[in-house]
Amino acid sequence: MHPVGFPAAKAPSQQPSRILIVDVTSPSWTNTCSVLSEALENTLCLACSLAGPCRVPLLSVYVVQDQQECLLPFVQVKEGFARVQTCISELRSLPREGCFPQGGNGVVQAVQDGLQQFKQYSKHTAAAALELTLQSGKEMVKQLEKKLKDVDLVSLRRMQIIEVLKRDFLEPEGVEQSTPAEEPSSDDIAILGMDIDVQTVEDNVISLEMLFKTWLHDYGTDREQLHLLLPSGGFGHLLAVSSPPRCRGNLYVMCLKCDLQERLLDPALLSGTADGTVRTADVNPPCQLAAWPATALYKLRVVKALKSEGVCESVLYGLPFIIKPTSCWQLDWDELETNQHSFHALCHSLLKRNWMLLAKCEPQNTSPSWNITVHSYYIVVPSDSATLLVKAVAVRELLLPSAFPALLAEHPEGVSPRNTQCALNSLEVEVTYNPLHLKNNLYKYLKSMLHRPTHRQQAQPREQRPERHQPKQHQSRAKATVAPLLMAPSPVQVFRPAAVRRDSCEHSLLPEEDDGFLQVLQ
């Protein structure tokens, strides 16, 4: 029997290596020091505790004072959390504002040194891509554009400049950008074919933590992750479908190419150990969707449309995942654009009809006729953003009998409704649920687990025991594993995948034709 789901296994090389450059000379450093250190430590303890390939495989940290200094040469994060914590402790102990004059030479030199370090490191490893995050100010953009014009940036996939400001100094549109979101809006500035992503973030732990957590997303864009297959019926001409309809028996199918994104981290993947040794069978039971990391192309074939009010929450299970139009770089721009337009048209049609979609996960490989394939079914839910939500739905074999007694029309005799009303009236009422307002000490627990020795070695015969070496003298700072770039000394110096406004999707890309798009599903 072969369950059909979304297995989890992927080459870790898809995730980029990362360089973080902290500019102590920036005016915001006094307020930023403690919150940035805490947010970084929280994110990296998650990365070290998640089972499977590490989502932040390599990390290097630079600090810019009167000149640049490498606090942490490239280290494998999952195996080197102790070194990461030592680096964060040094960040916390750095002098505050006013100790060093503000200037950009140290920042530019740190960028150049980091690129050189990665170039040398990648010669001996499988590291193929690099992303750089710089905590500084927007004024650094022009200096970087000017001084990096002759530097080889082939390995640098993206440069991100983060300006951390107090809420009072944020511009009105910046306030929305600084709120925690999966993809905060930003300004992109092109430099030698690479984008410099400029973002303004509020100086608190939550905002910076959500920014660093974007590192945990799947960054593999070599291929799309999911095909959403819909019956074209007699309306295939209404949509600019990126690929021609394919015949499946007597039914023509149109295909929307999509990517999957996690909405939540799976608690089952948090093993509490630094090495993440958890069996796949333990963290991915049959029929449970797991979108990261994706190993293959998954296909959801829509079999039926459902009225939204007709789906009971009790039959939905597992973690929700977000479906987006693919950003696969192997597709040409025209195909990406038409695929995105088709996806938007589907979202508009579902919202207008108040529909959900019932989809069946198709087997990835054709199995012999004597093998039995267990299918998984999913509900696809629209939202007021340009995304869909997908969640597993129960089938006959999984459903248990349940009795739902009818609610009495009136309060039962002998019970005063006043006591109940008083109890309810004493509760604080929130208009919406914000998970950022709740915490459960998970970070403290994971950090304590990462500090423990992994396990005691079993006793071995004397002849099999490895030779003991004298421990090396402790060093307060790790030495670089590659030679640093030689340079002249510097002179002193938040159910909906939200954060997208409703009015962004109010107008259909195909206003007159999308209404007939899903007629065939009725």
pLDDT tens, residue by residue, 350-360: 999 999 999 99
Instruction: Give the amino acid at 444.
Output: K
For the chain, the first-to-last Cα distance in angstroms comes to: 33
Percent of the chain with pLDDT over 90: 36
How far, in Å, CA of 185 to CA of 204, rounded?
A: 18
CA distances in angstroms from 481 to 68, 84, 116, listed in the order given: 17, 15, 12
Instruction: Give the amino acid at 255.
Output: C
Q: Which of 164-168, 389-393, 394-398 has the lowest mean pLDDT?
A: 164-168
Can you give the three-state secondary structure of 47-89, one letter per residue? Answer: HHHECCCCCCCEEEEEEECCCEEEEEEEEECCCCHHHHHHHHH
Specify the higher pLDDT residue, 310 or 244: 310
Split at pLDDT 50, 70, 90, the class of 177 is very low
Tell whether the model's pLDDT for residue 343 goes beyond 60: yes
* Phi, psi for residue 397 in degrees, rounded to 5: -65, -25
Split at pLDDT 50, 70, 90, the class of 521 is low
How far, in Å, CA of 272 to CA of 449, rounded?
A: 6
**Among 295, 266, 262, 265, residue whose Cα is nearest residue 283:** 266
How far, in Å, CA of 513 to CA of 241, rounded?
A: 14
pLDDT score at 370: 61
Q: Are strands 68-76 and 17-23 parallel, antiparallel or unpaired?
A: unpaired
| Residue whose tokens read 């995942």 | 321
pLDDT score at 295: 62
What are 60-86's pLDDT values in tens digits?
999 998 788 999 999 999 888 999 999
Each residue of 113-148: b (16+ CB within 10 Å) or e?
A: bbbbbbebbbeeeebebbbbbbbbbeebbeebeebb
Specify the higher pLDDT residue, 30 or 255: 255
Mean pLDDT of the 303-331 span: 92
Neighbours of 390 (CB within 10 A): 26
Tell whether the model's pLDDT for residue 406 goes beyond 80: yes
Tell whether the model's pLDDT for residue 464 goes beyond 60: no
pTM over 0.85: no
**Among 390, 371, 373, residue whose Cα is nearest residue 381:** 390
Three-class secondary structure of residue 19 per DSSP: strand
Query: Which DSSP symbol is given to 40?
Result: H
**Best-predicted range by mean pLDDT (104-118, 235-249, 436-450):** 436-450
Give the number of residues written for the chain: 522
pLDDT score at 97: 59
CA distances in angstroms from 187 to 161, 177, 354, listed in the order given: 10, 11, 35
Q: Which of 247-256, 315-324, 504-513 has the lowest mean pLDDT?
A: 504-513
Rounded to the nearest 10 degrees, what angle do helices 205-213 and 29-49 cross at?
40
CA 130, distance to chain mean position in Å, is: 17
**Best-predicted range by mean pLDDT (275-279, 297-301, 515-519):** 297-301
Tell whether the model's pLDDT for residue 241 goes beyond 70: no
Helices marked H in 66-203:
81-92, 105-122, 140-147, 172-178
Answer yes or no: are the C-beta atoms of 471 and 365 closer than 8 Å.
no
pLDDT score at 465: 45
pLDDT score at 457: 41
Neighbours of 66 (CB within 10 A): 18
